[in-house]
Amino acid sequence: MKQYNVGLVGVGAVGTEMIKVLKDRKFPCGKVQVFASRERDEEILGETYHVLKAGEESFKGLDIVLFAGKTDVAIQLRDAVVRAGAKMIDNSRAFRQDPDVPLVVPQVNPEDLDWNHGVIANPNCTTAIMLEAVAPLHRAKKLKRLVAATYQAASGAGAPGLAELEQQIQDYAAGRPLTVKAFQHQLTCNLIPHIDKFDEENWYTLEELKMRNESRKMLHLPDLMLSCTCVRVPVARAHSESLNLEFEDEITPDEAREILRAAKGVKVVDDPLNGGYPMPLDATGRYEVLAGRIRQDISRADKRGLEMFVSGDQLLRGAALNAVEIAETLIERGLV
């Protein structure tokens, strides 16, 4: 089997998860070179890597470069990766709405990889988790409108967010004052309906607007009606989403379950009388998006509406796994 030289820019939570996924999926790596803001030796998952400082000449000889760092770093190094002849798979928001850059989840729109010009964008984690379950239904019944509410884990804000939640839980149990830094308010014993900045024209947050704009691009539905409210919840890892779906064609819950059971990357968990429904605890560490609580929308007189609840690991499905699957799909389609 041909092997591919892989670069990784960024060694935080997502970067570490990318290395784990490369190993777990036995990706055909020749060498793996890790880059960051400074040169050093660093132990990652029990193995010592010589981390190099990322620069304009860093990417020669590499076939694929996974970016798990900041937006400004991706923008700064994009041309260097393309000049080196490598494929850049970026997890930041830098290029998601660039019309010359495909925004891809391989189970949703792999065909968009065919027109890449060296750069492929990873969608926001909430979008990736949602569309994994929504896209198969759309292909069968033509999605018309979607209303979502998300329940997003503390680790979605990175290592500082998770650390703050864990510390707050300990302090709360011990009766100590709680420190608030990573979030706008105390997260323990609370919900925060505020993720990212507010757009002061419509008062949606950027996280909410990302879900709309990215879904429109990936589903090739520029006029898709989509509205959502994104909420931070005191959960360590894995995001959940409540989805109200309207289709052009009639669809029943049984049809939806059949479609989703046949869909790659989705596991139907829908046995509510016996406690079977998606939960973030069960989604943590899993590759699949869990989908359940599938039922007809009783606010409608027709059969074009469904309710559904999904949970997915945002570090895997929403980031690291998706990036590696993009690399695998590039290889399968002969694009690298």
Residues designated as active site: 125, 239
Scanning the structure block, which residue is given the tokens 């024209």? Answer: 201
DSSP 122-191: PPPHHHHHHHHHHHHHHHHH-EEEEEEEEEE-GGGG-HHHHHHHHHHHHHHHHTPPPP--SSSS--TT--
For 21, the token pair is: 């996924």
Give every CB contact of residue 184 below 8 A, 6+ residues apart in sequence: 192, 194
Closest CA to 267 of 294, 246, 243, 245: 294
Q: Tell me the C-alpha distance between 207 and 198, whole Å.
A: 9
Q: How many CB atoms lie within 10 A of CB 226?
A: 20
Written as six digits, the tokens of 318 are 């929403």
Angle at 170 between CA 169 and CA 176, to 5 degrees: 100
Would residue 46 be called left, alpha or beta, if left means φ above 0 and alpha means ψ between -120 and 50 degrees?
left
CA dist., res. 132 & res. 123, Å (int) = 12
Long-range contacts of residues 166-175, Cβ cutoff 8 Å, at least 24 apart: 166/236, 169/234
